[in-house]
Structure 1
Amino acid sequence: MIVSVPSTPASGRIVLITGASSGIGQATARRLAESGHRVFLGARRVERIAAVAADIRTQGGNAEHHVLDVTDRRSMGAFVHAARERHGRIDVLVNNAGVMPLSRLDALKVDEWNQMIDVNIRGVLHGIAAVLPIMRSQGEGHIVNIASVSGHRADPTAAVYGATKFAVRAISEGLRQESRDVRVTVVSPGLTHSDLAESITDPGTRDAVRAQMQIAMPASAIADAVAYAIGQPPAVDVNEIVVRPTAQA
């Protein structure tokens, strides 16, 4: 049975965030909690995410956590179910979880290619599949997918990573065109301080990325973009935001 739940105001929404134990996900959780939203955080590193949620509560915010592996559809379903059981509705999903083990194609790091496909594409699809029926039954909702500037251009060492982010943008645009009651936003960050570079196993590529990080933005810049998008009135859908450091080419 579908229970009708009243709409929530622009502040105080129930926001689910994947990959929230560090980087952009953690910064977004803190930013939205500061704005009065109730954040429900998912990640594999349960001890770390529990600490993030506890710290947010210490600062006066409303935060809970749940273990989550976005590559496992059942895990995603359990994450979303737990949030809905707790709060009665799902207002926003921020599909943030991602991996970025960059390398040249001729390095043939096939396992890492598959990991990027599983996390960056399947993880987003699993999130959409879990929340879309709920949002449709509510008559409203908002899905925010974190892509990358690599989803707008192709670069050496980023062919597969970029392909996954192109896919996120394509999936998001298709969902947007299919939706009249669910808003869809893509946020594409440029160089941003996060743990992503530490997943790079190719030494030369890892060193190059670390060197570029001297111009990187703080993760809070992306959190502000997410906050802006979800803070718009229901009739306004911010479809895409690209945020780069000023110094990035």
Structure 2
Amino acid sequence: MSYIENKIVVITGASSGIGEATAKHLASKGAKVVIAARSENKLQEIVTNIEFNGGIAAFKVTDATNKEDVKALIDFAVEKFGRVDTLINCAGLMLFSLWDNAHVDEWEKMIDLNLKGTLYGIAAVLPHMKEQGKGQIVNVGSIAGHAVGKGHGVYSSTKYAVKAITESLRKEMSVEHNIQATMVSPGVIATNWQDTVTDKDVKGVLDNLKEVAIDVEHVAKTIAFVVDQPSDVLINDVIVTPTRQEW
């Protein structure tokens, strides 16, 4: 029996990487997906691809750092499909840099998206899930939320925060309101995330990581495993990393 089929799943950060792969994979398993990101053209392209392959999807242009945008996204999903069964907080930004170089603007961008964006999604969806008497929140974290490496300082801080948020959600919302809360923590994945890093002093670190990176589809399948659970089963946390990743 599939618990993915006919689930209404909202995914932020879905215009590329893990979010895009997860949307396509869940749609292929029968979920109805609502995808969100800032790029309308890319979102439309993904929805067209899903529909061409027999899936059901919709999109809403959303800036995950804007709480009104995120609330509008959840409201849109409820209006279109009647409910939200699963929220996947996937929007994120990874900008490695050394402390000495003080990339403060980049620190703020990561805090706004990785931390505040996750909180905005939770705040927007909880009232609907409480009213339903069930729901599922999947926060995409990182192995950097379990271990800190050189150049990871602020990024790791945001992902450690996501870990704390998820654990707190379990203690309050899972126990009291039957809302499942899970953190999926990927290791190094093969996307273009390295291209956004501006600190040249961490280039050697990035080159080493690229050599062991795994495809995003592996992470998408891991998220699907979490989503494919009955409402009385909670997968607490999952770490999925390349076999050859050292940390």
The normalised TM-score by structure 2 is: 0.95
Aligned counterpart in structure 2 of residue 161 of structure 1, from 144, 155, 175? 155
2:233 aligned with 1:236: yes
2:105 is aligned to 111
Give the 3 Å change call, closer, same or farther, for CA 231–160 of structure 1 in structure 2. Answer: same
1:198 is aligned to 195
How far off is 1:10 after superposition?
Answer: 4.0
Gaps of 5+ in 1: 1-7
2:42 is aligned to 48
2:218 aligned with 1:213: no
Q: Verify the 8 A CA contact 1:10 1:231 in the aligned structure 2.
A: yes
Deviations 1:87-117 (A, max 9, x none): 1100000000000111001101000000000
* Farther-moved stretch of structure 1 (90-99 vs 230-239): 230-239
2:24 aligned with 1:27: no
Letter paired with 1:185? T
Question: 1:197 & 1:93 partners in 2: Cα distance?
Answer: 27
How far off is 1:234 after superposition?
Answer: 1.2
How far off is 1:211 after superposition?
Answer: 4.0
Deviations 1:3-34 (A, max 9, x none): xxxxx954110000000000000000011001
Question: 1:37 & 1:246 partners in 2: Cα distance?
Answer: 30
Q: Verify the 8 A CA contact 1:22 1:195 in the aligned structure 2.
A: no
Letter paired with 2:209? Q
How far off is 1:197 after superposition?
Answer: 1.8
The normalised TM-score by structure 1 is: 0.94
Find the residue that maps to 2:231 and give its secondary structure: coil
Question: 1:230 & 1:212 partners in 2: Cα distance?
Answer: 28
Match runs of 1:145-184 below 5 Å? 145-179=139-173, 180=175, 181-184=178-181
Letter paired with 1:83? A
Deviations 1:125-158 (A, max 9, x none): 0000000110000001000000000000111100
Gaps of 5+ in 2: none
2:128 is aligned to 134
Q: Verify the 8 A CA contact 2:190 2:210 in the aligned structure 1.
A: yes
How many residues end up aligned between the 2 structures? 242
Give the 3 Å change call, closer, same or farther, for CA 129–112 of structure 1 in structure 2. Answer: same
Q: CA RMSD in A?
A: 1.3
Q: Verify the 8 A CA contact 2:11 2:35 in the aligned structure 1.
A: yes
How far off is 1:203 after superposition?
Answer: 2.3
Find the residue that maps to 1:223 and give its secondary structure: helix
Question: 2:3 & 2:156 partners in 1: Cα distance?
Answer: 36
Give the fraction of aligned pairs with identical amino acids, expressed as a percent.
40
1:97 is aligned to 91
Question: 1:215 & 1:63 partners in 2: Cα distance?
Answer: 33
Deviations 1:40-93 (A, max 9, x none): 000011111111111111111111111011110000011111111001100000
1:3 is aligned to none
Question: 2:201 & 2:53 partners in 1: Cα distance?
Answer: 40
Question: 1:210 & 1:94 partners in 2: Cα distance?
Answer: 29
